[in-house]
Chain A
Amino acid sequence: MLEVDSYEHNVLARASLDHCVKCTICETQCPVMRVTPLFSGPKYVGPQAERYRHGESVDHSLDYCSSCGTCTLVCPQGVKIAELNSVARAAMKRDHMPLRDQIISRTTLLGTVMTPVAPIANAVLKFKPARIVAEKTVGIHRDAAMPTAQLTTFTSWFKRHTPSTTPTRGKIIFFHGCAGKYFEVDTAVKAVEVLEHIGYEVVVPKQGCCGMPLQSNGIFDAARKSVRTLAGQLQAGPAGVPIVSTAASCAGMIRHEAREIMGVTDDALIEAGSRTYDISEFLLGLADKGELPLDDLKRIDTEVCYHAPCQLKGQGMGTPAVQLLQLIPGVSVVESGATCCGIAGTYGLKKEKFDVGQAVGKPLFDKVKEVNPELAVCDTETCRWQIRNATGAQVVHPIAFIHEAYGLGKATEPKAGSV
């Protein structure tokens, strides 16, 4: 089987560089290039520099790429620009991976360590001197957004909870992602309650990390191992039923990134990926077929800014959350129009990238403050932390609104597990 261990082996993405006609559209859309000269831009580090890569890595500045994937999305010629960069970064970092990148890319480990001591962990994360020490020793910026540890994990809530309805639609697998398990427990709980409310029997097979943070930090071997394990775990659930997720980027990893960036083409991964859906995409699909009970959606009078994360846009599904939210009477959705929030997974946490990440996110932060400084909507966890940290607004997953509209609780009130 083809393994993308180095860029020489990255045959498919490398071959796509032949399609580049230098139109420069990718550079007009790159959110990083716009704010810093330190990054030479996607056309440069992608199809151009790739022609010069062989053996030892020499263009270390490619690490300023945030891997948001906007370049690949906008390329009219089909060049896998972001994928080329990710592979080149992996090759570059193979021999000198910073400890920091090793730590922050192991989400499961962080959650396991932090959950039992949540109040202490949260206090430490808010304690400036501790953050300064972390910045100096580990390289995580003192002001960077950090997750809030929860006392209860999603899985322990799920084991204890009793479904409010009797299933009428059959089984569905819920894929919560690491953040959903440890940090964004509220989102995962609300998703399950919505799915049960509309008649699904929700099944949650044991599941580990998708490997996305490892992949974006260039730790491919471990990332491949993670995503393969996860594909097997999801397959261990009921066969052929939809896999629905609130973790948009993790779903993207299973659906296309593992294959396109790391060359994982296992049958298990392809099979699981082919029935994985973002939850908004899934619910909108039901609505389109007339299978989502729209009449039960109660009025919520609010105007919110919605930001579509890069990882979601890269999956080529459009922005289903916008259409879904607008099914709720009274909800007015204003799209952010911004490319990226600047966190890009773990990019914006890093000491040397923090300022770049903040500058990348500035148009978004301004928009959020202008539309509704109290509340905003975004599909992915790290983007929510970033927007929350920068604007002070509460930022929720779209499912929180559906949850409220079905009368299951308030969108702004955490459902379970919070400290």
Chain B
Amino acid sequence: MRKLRADVVVVGGGSTGVGVVRDAAMRGYKAILVDRADLAQGTSGRFHGLLHSGGRYVVSDPESATECAEENAIVTRIQPHAVETTGGLFVVTPHDDPAFGDQFLAGALKAKVPAREIDPALALAREPRLNPGILRAFEVEDGTVDGWQLVWSAAASAQAYGAEILSYHEVVAVERTGEAVTGVRCLNRKTGEDVTIECGFVLNCAGPWAGRIANAAGCQPVDVVPGRGIMVAMAHRLVNTVVNRCIYPADGDILVPIHTVCVIGTTDHPTTDPDHLEIPREEVQQMLDAGEELIPGFRDARAVHAWAGARPLIKDKHVAATDTRHMSRGMSVIDHRERDGLSGLLTIGGGKLTTYRLMAEHIVNAMEEQLGVSHPCRTADEICPGNVPGKTYLITDRLHEREEDRLSDQIICECELMSRSMFIDLLEKFPQASFDDLRRQLRVGMGPCQGGFCSSRIAGLTFEEGAVDIERATGLLRLFLENRWIGLWPILSGDQVRQAALDDWIIQGILDVDHLPHPAKEEI
């Protein structure tokens, strides 16, 4: 049993949680973050990659729109490495009402979201694959953001202020003495060790899982309604600008160029279990059809992967529980002192990745209010470690790096241009990591071949570096491939079938991975 002590324990290692632990640490609190899995393994890593300009909400939710516009600028300033300033377009397709454009412009003006109408011909010159029949086009300041990079660099900033980040630590119970929180009991899932953290405050940032944490503290049920949305990544960037459909927010209304792929999203269905999110084939088809209206030929382009994420929406009495899209995306903080008679516990819900920093500011403010103290929030003022001021991500970055080291380093993941030393360096830092943990930071296995070629290479390297024995290397390889398949099955068609067949011949035909000796229980 390991015993730790902190002022505040943050539960949940998504964007909200790391934002909160960073904010708390910067205000001088001894803070510890726990997550039952890796950082940004849940919702923060399962979205389309949009850094909102606010344009999407100028008509439906102007307050969120204004927040997005402000936070977009802040995130781009403090975490430029995670952000690509692609710019965005809102386009009126021949199927849409051109008059909505007027509402859009008026809403943008009111919400202080920069937007201007441009000649559709200009939009087409910028994005030649766009539907040539577009009727109107508006330029906005959308960007794209890598959720994993964002979360890891915020975590690094928190650590620089003394915070501790404990991933793979699952909360078993929130300890209380009478009406006050006294600590958190966790299980280290990698080692099986019990870990108790004594603390006076718990901030529940578990997103779609926040209800479970409230339960663990013995509170009344918190009604989180996870909104399940699927996304489909296409094998290369069909556009280099974020392309939004200029309509009231609906399914499949956005195409986001992020890293080497472009992502069409998304659907929205209320669900009950955020651990099991299905990716129905009809929703995949719905996304491809929606893409076709923005980009003719979209259906014939190669899809490489699909995934589902759960929006952490908290039930809002103003809208019906079945309509999760139109619940408030604005954040809400639940104070369990008034609600459940338990002091030292706050739950936050709603919000979106673009405004993660602001959400963190709100909940830490609420904590300080309860504690009766006040420190200024400085998270918007300081750039996170690993970032160079003003140096935002460019799609050409990795190609440039490989051009520089092509004669001295080996490429392990050819699709995502991950070098041998990139992999070895991260493995040294995280010797217990699963291949998916490493993937989220390195993008290994995320390109068109979906790990068909590189997965066995990284298994070999991990063993060769002495990080694992041969059975665990095989177990990790199997787990990685199984997880890739979750996102492959629903989209298998056309070019990706040929890839999957070739990969299968390699993995099963040549390497016979299913019959290699591996540990009986699943690797973590």
Contacts and interface: CB of A to CB of B under 8 A. Distances in A.
A298 interface: no
Contacts of A18: 235-236, 301-302, 448, 495
B407 interface: yes
A410 interface: no
A55 B498 contact: no
A275 interface: no
A378 B254 CA distance: 55
A77 B406 contact: no
A181 B472 CA distance: 69
A52 B417 contact: yes
Interface string A42-76: 01100011111111101111000000000000000
A54 B499 CA distance: 25
B301 A58 contact: no
A109 interface: no
A5 to B, nearest CB: 10
Interface string A271-312: 000000000000000000000000000000000000000000
A263 to B, nearest CB: 11
A22 B449 contact: yes
B129 A11 contact: yes
Contacts of A49: 399
A190 interface: no
A226 B240 CA distance: 32
B448 to A, nearest CB: 7
Nearest to A77: B498
Contacts of A51: 235-237, 260, 415, 447
Interface in B402-422: 402-403, 406-407, 411, 414-415, 417
A54 B301 contact: no
A52 B403 contact: no
Chain A CB within 10 A, most for which of B396, B414, B495: B396
B391 to A, nearest CB: 14
Nearest to A14: B236
B499 A55 contact: no
A44 B447 CA distance: 13
Contacts of A48: 414-415, 417
A236 interface: no
Contacts of A53: 395-396, 399
A97 B499 CA distance: 38
A58 B399 contact: yes
Q: What is the predominant secondary structure among interface residues of chain B facing chain A?
A: loop
Nearest to A8: B128
A229 interface: no
A21 B399 contact: no
Contacts, number: 84
A230 B417 CA distance: 42
Nearest to B303: A18
Nearest to B447: A51
B240 A21 contact: no
A22 B128 contact: no
Interface string B295-307: 0010001100000
Contact size class for B?
Answer: 20 to 34
B504 to A, nearest CB: 12
Given A11-B129, A51-B260, A59 B301 contact: no
Given A48-B414, A58-B403, A60-B403, A17 B236 contact: yes
Contact of B414 (A22, A50, A58, A59): A22
A241 interface: no
Given A8-B240, A48-B417, A22 B395 contact: no
A51 B129 CA distance: 15
Nearest to B399: A52
Contact of B399 (A11, A17, A59): A59
Contacts of A15: 297, 301
B394 interface: yes
Contacts of A58: 396, 399-400, 403
Given A8-B128, A8-B240, A48-B414, A59 B403 contact: yes
Contacts of B499: 21-22
A37 interface: yes
Interface string A133-177: 000000000000000000000000000000000000000000000
Contacts of A44: 411, 414
A22 B452 contact: yes
B398 interface: yes
A21 B128 contact: no
A8 B499 CA distance: 25
Interface in B303-358: none
Contacts of A19: 302, 495, 498
A48 B413 CA distance: 11
A390 to B, nearest CB: 27
A128 interface: no
A20 interface: yes
A277 B477 CA distance: 54
B502 interface: yes
A77 B502 CA distance: 12
Chain B CB within 10 A, most for which of A20, A23, A58: A58
Contacts of B396: 52-56, 58
B451 to A, nearest CB: 11
A53 B236 CA distance: 10
Given A11-B129, A44-B414, A20 B448 contact: yes
Contacts of B414: 22, 43-44, 48
Contact of B406 (A11, A40, A55): A40
Contacts of B415: 22, 48, 51
A207 to B, nearest CB: 34
A52 B407 contact: no
A34 interface: no
Contacts of A38: 407
B73 to A, nearest CB: 22
Contact of B240 (A40, A50, A54): A54
Nearest to B500: A21
Contacts of B301: 15, 18
A206 interface: no
A54 B395 contact: yes
A9 interface: yes
Contact of A59 (B236, B240, B400, B448): B400
B502 A21 contact: yes
Interface string A3-42: 0000011010011011111110000000000000110100
Contacts of B29: none
A373 B402 CA distance: 44
15 contacts: A8-B240, A19-B495, A22-B414, A22-B415, A22-B449, A40-B406, A50-B236, A51-B237, A51-B415, A52-B417, A53-B399, A55-B395, A58-B396, A58-B403, A61-B406
Interface of B: 128-129, 235-237, 240, 260, 297, 301-302, 394-396, 398-400, 402-403, 406-407, 411, 414-415, 417, 447-449, 452-453, 495, 498-499, 502
Given A44-B414, A59-B400, 4 more contacts: A11-B129, A22-B502, A37-B407, A59-B399
3 shortest interchain CB distances as A-B pairs: A18-B302, A52-B399, A58-B400
